[in-house]
Structure 1
């Protein structure tokens, strides 16, 4: 689960080569396991820093026999340490720490430094999906992604009541928060293509 020499070689870990999606901060894995079950035509990687959480995902992976799911025990702060340029087709940021204090802006996973990391590993037609229950973090991310030159494919101000979204798979936190009437926000966006002016990090 600690990747060594896997940059650009992740497809070798799967039963077959398929589009590769990554979730940064998978928790106990309800979302990524659900995605792997719902989309056998895709490969998935769960990246999680907590050993207890990644062990839980591993047990479920073995129990459910999911050949299209691999795990990484590691920090999502530097994705280029794990993946080659363009290796990932879809990236999920689900309920990341909002770091609400202004002095912690650079720790937010939608800060421009992290967006540059995301852009580096995503394929030219790759998509970034971001979900949060924190309105301030959502608004910050909307501005940050826009300033980075990203194009929005979906902006949902109330995900669970948005008729455009018919295939939402919930995280553990999302399920509990929404069941109490909480609002979930979602962005789906892509980076400028090579023909566009490159974004500045």
Structure 2
């Protein structure tokens, strides 16, 4: 999907340091200190326009959330949502997910959310998929013992690949849904993409996996 460039986005992100962490690497090992209260830290890699993470923060005030998005012109919309939500347990990072160990120390994160990631369907692009083994290794380093990844997508190919990748990495598959919106799963919070694809009749796939 092409994203309309917003030349003013960078300045707006810089204008709200209370919401957008400007130098995240400086918080490595000390992320608890940037929130008003201590609690588990959940991160969303590829937070997009921020609907999911802002609604999660509202629904779970005892959990601290960090939304990570590389595109300035996208995350600035998440910032607007955050300003409107006015909840203290969420921060944003305009950063590359490949550098997570630069920003987070070992055992610092409790859960990783991957929602509607780019499927990178061509075989030569396998290493770019956020469920590829090198990314899994990165998540494992920053997650607490037995930390979890919660993954959602509308792309059947990516879902099948991810289940294989999780299994090859010897992760525990705790929950799998091949049709989330027609399942008995409770408490689902939709992303913008999820609503769009579901309204078009696309099936939504979801799983929860745990590092052993």
TM range (shorter): over 0.9
| 2:165 is equivalent to residue 173 of structure 1 | no
User: TM-score normalized by structure 1?
Assistant: 0.92
C-alpha distance in 2 between matches for 1:4 and 1:190: 26
Greater share of helix: 2
Deviation at 1:4, TM superposition (A): 3.6
Question: What are the equivalent positions in structure 2 for 1:142-181 lying under 5 Å apart?
Answer: 142-163=163-184, 165-181=185-201
Tell me what 1:130 maps to. 151
CA distances 1:100-141 after superposition (whole Å, capped 9, x unpaired): 001111111111000000101111132100111111110000
Structure 1 residue ranges, 4+ long, deviating more than 6 angstroms after superposition: none
* TM norm structure 2: 0.88
- Structure 2 residue runs of 5 or longer lacking an equivalent are 1-20
Q: Is the 8 A contact 2:112 2:149 kept in 1?
A: yes
Q: Which residue of 2 aligns with 1:196?
A: none
Alpha-carbon distance, 1:156 to partner: 0.6
Name the SS of the counterpart of 1:146 in structure 2.
helix
Structure 1 gaps, min length 5: 193-201
- Deviations for 1:168-194, whole angstroms, at most 9, x for unmatched residues? 1010000111011110101100011xx
The residue aligned with 1:67 is 88
Distance in 1 between residues matched to 2:209 and 2:32, nearest whole Å = 24
- Supply the distance in 1 between the matched residues of 2:116 and 2:79 (Cα, whole angstroms): 21
How far apart are 1:62 and its partner, in Å?
A: 2.0
Residue in 1 that maps onto 2:105: 84
Instruction: Verify: 1:185 aligned to 2:205, yes or no.
Output: yes
Query: Are 2:50 and 1:50 equivalent residues in the alignment?
Result: no
Equivalent in the alignment of 1:198:
none
Q: Aligned-residue CA RMSD in angstroms? A: 0.9
Q: Count the aligned residue pairs.
A: 191
Alpha-carbon distance in 1 for matches of 2:61, 2:37: 10
Hey, what does 1:115 align to over in structure 2? 136
State whether residues 25 and 102 of structure 2, in contact with CA within 8 Å, keep that contact through their aligned partners in structure 1: no
